[in-house]
């Protein structure tokens, strides 16, 4: 609620200082007197609010407490069901999660799964207390320690690296390379949950500026972007799973590849994929820098790659490939095509975020 107290003139003292009198009624209602201290805070629109010191101190004491939740694990309840509950609480901003076990005989299997969940999936979470019938997780990381933009950048680096390694694995089916993609997917998933948690935190408390955003509308833009980045990692994992299946068939001697991977096709597909990576990285740079012009140029580049993609499909059709290898090549091209789509999405989001900043608000008169 706001109450209009009218206007007051700014006066100047002999020393060149500017002063303004406070409304008498307001001073008396608050209980201020000579010598009382009042805090001045400047808002983003350059307006100033005055807060008496005693109110400021009361607000400090009334800061929100840790968000605490409890889960009861029934003896016959599936472990994954409990883990999903914990993940959901993590995402909605829980600070403390207590898991109570009904039946000590089943507690050990739950504890092991929860420990792995905290270690492998929930970024910044630690088990801070444990009894025979209970485990307590606390989320210790905050947006100040690991800013939103840094988390999104890290997600993109890992996801694109996984995509690149998945393509390399087609030619070099090294078990370590295959496992590296699986690990990268898990890392992207961890960061994705962390970013969603931070976005929900910002929406609830309207702290978009603390997260590095300019308006609350940008929460949705970031949510779309991290979903696209997670999809890049998922596509890489899909490619690797298909390669692992082929490798198993070869080892079981139920599949015999007629010839090595076609060098010409592999080289061109890899180069095309690298181009899509570069454009996606550029689209993120444009978004973080709020660069409308750069984002607009990226969209034009993405559209120019469609012809090249069609040429690759024709080249692949002209080759006499083993059907299993051909299927993986198609998966890789589909993955590259999706990265192009994600690049277009990010660039378009940047246009929508910044168009108001570059457009003139003045009215033009007809001649």
CATH code, domain carrying 176: 1.20.58.220
Same domain, 218 and 111: no
Same domain, 210 and 252: yes
Report which of residues 54 and 276 the model is more confident about. Answer: 276
Report which of residues 51 and 164 the model is more confident about. Answer: 164
Mean residue pLDDT across the chain? 85
Residue 92 reports pLDDT greater than 70: yes
Residue 1 reports pLDDT greater than 60: no
The answer to whether position 6 is within a domain reads no
The answer to whether position 363 is within a domain reads no
Same domain, 89 and 184: no
Same domain, 205 and 330: yes
Torsion angle in degrees (nearest 10) through CA of 107, 111, 117, 119 = 180
Q: pTM to 2 decimals?
A: 0.75
Residue numbers of the domain that contains 325: 148-358
Q: What is the CATH number of the domain that holds 125?
A: 3.30.110.20
Same domain, 235 and 328: yes
pLDDT in tens, 129-151: 988 889 999 998 776 778 888 99
Task: For residues 51-70, give the mean pLDDT.
Answer: 76
Tell me which of 139, 166, 195 is where a domain ends.
139
Same domain, 117 and 207: no
Residue 364 reports pLDDT greater than 60: no
Residue 362 reports pLDDT greater than 60: no
pLDDT in tens, 190-248: 999 999 998 888 887 777 777 778 888 888 899 999 999 999 999 999 999 988 887 78
The answer to whether position 365 is within a domain reads no
Tell me which of 122, 139, 156 is where a domain ends.
139
- Spatial contact of 184 and 165, defined as CB atoms under 8 Å apart: yes
Report which of residues 258 and 333 the model is more confident about. Answer: 333
Long-range contacts of 266-271 (CB under 8 A, 24+ apart): 266/170, 266/171, 268/312, 268/315, 269/167, 269/312, 269/329, 269/332, 269/333, 269/336, 270/167
Predicted confidence at residue 259, as pLDDT, reads 60
Same domain, 282 and 192: yes
pLDDT in tens, 9-54: 888 877 777 888 888 888 888 888 888 888 888 876 778 888 888 8
- How many domains would you assign to the chain? 3
Same domain, 29 and 113: no
- Spatial contact of 155 and 188, defined as CB atoms under 8 Å apart: yes
Report which of residues 79 and 259 the model is more confident about. Answer: 79
- Spatial contact of 216 and 203, defined as CB atoms under 8 Å apart: yes
Same domain, 225 and 157: yes
Predicted confidence at residue 361, as pLDDT, reads 47
Same domain, 154 and 130: no
Q: Is 40 helix (H, G, I), strand (E, B) or coil?
A: strand
- Which two tokens mark 162? 């996984």
The answer to whether position 191 is within a domain reads yes
The residue among 281, 293, 291 whose CA lies nearest residue 343 is 281
Residue 67 reports pLDDT greater than 50: yes
Same domain, 155 and 251: yes
Residue 72, strand partner residues: 100
The answer to whether position 130 is within a domain reads yes
* Distance, CA of 305 to CA of 56 (rounded, Å): 57
The answer to whether position 1 is within a domain reads no
Residue with tokens 């059907």: 323
The pLDDT confidence band at residue 309, using thresholds 50, 70 and 90, is: confident
Tell me which of 139, 166, 189 is where a domain ends.
139
Same domain, 172 and 317: yes
């Amino acid at each position: 609620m706001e109450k209009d107290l009218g206007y007051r003139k700014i006066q100047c003292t002999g020393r060149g200082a500017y002063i303004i009198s406070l409304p008498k009624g307001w001073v008396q209602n608050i209980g201020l007197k000579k010598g009382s201290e009042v805090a001045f805070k400047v808002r983003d629109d350059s307006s100033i609010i005055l807060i008496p010191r005693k109110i400021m101190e009361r607000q400090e004491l009334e800061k929100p407490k840790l968000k605490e939740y409890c889960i009861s694990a029934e003896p016959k309840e599936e472990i994954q069901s409990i883990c999903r509950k914990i993940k959901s609480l993590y995402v909605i901003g829980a600070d403390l999660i207590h898991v109570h076990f009904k039946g000590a005989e089943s507690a050990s299997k739950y504890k092991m799964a929860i420990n792995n969940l905290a270690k492998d999936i929930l970024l910044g979470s630690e088990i801070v207390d444990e009894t025979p019938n209970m485990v307590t997780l606390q989320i210790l990381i905050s947006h100040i320690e690991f800013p939103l933009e840094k988390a999104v950048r890290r997600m993109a680096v890992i996801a694109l690296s996984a995509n690149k390694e998945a393509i390399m694995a087609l030619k070099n089916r090294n078990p370590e390379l295959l496992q590296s993609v699986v690990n990268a997917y898990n890392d992207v998933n961890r960061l994705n949950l962390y970013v969603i948690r931070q976005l929900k935190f910002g929406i609830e408390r309207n702290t978009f500026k603390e997260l590095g955003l300019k308006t609350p509308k940008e929460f949705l833009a970031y949510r779309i972007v991290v979903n696209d980045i997670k999809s890049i990692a998922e596509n890489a994992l899909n490619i690797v799973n298909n390669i692992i299946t082929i490798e198993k068939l070869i080892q079981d001697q139920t599949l015999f590849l007629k010839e090595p991977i076609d060098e010409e096709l592999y080289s061109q597909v890899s180069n095309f994929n690298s181009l899509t990576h570069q454009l996606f990285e550029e689209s993120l740079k444009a978004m973080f820098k709020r660069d409308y012009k750069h984002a607009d140029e990226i969209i034009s580049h993405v559209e120019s790659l469609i012809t090249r993609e069609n040429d690759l499909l024709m080249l692949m059709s002209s080759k006499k490939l083993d059907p299993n290898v051909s299927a993986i090549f198609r998966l890789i091209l589909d993955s590259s095509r999706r990265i192009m789509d994600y690049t277009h999405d990010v660039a378009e989001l940047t246009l929508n975020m910044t168009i108001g900043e570059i457009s003139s608000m003045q009215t033009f008169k007809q001649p």
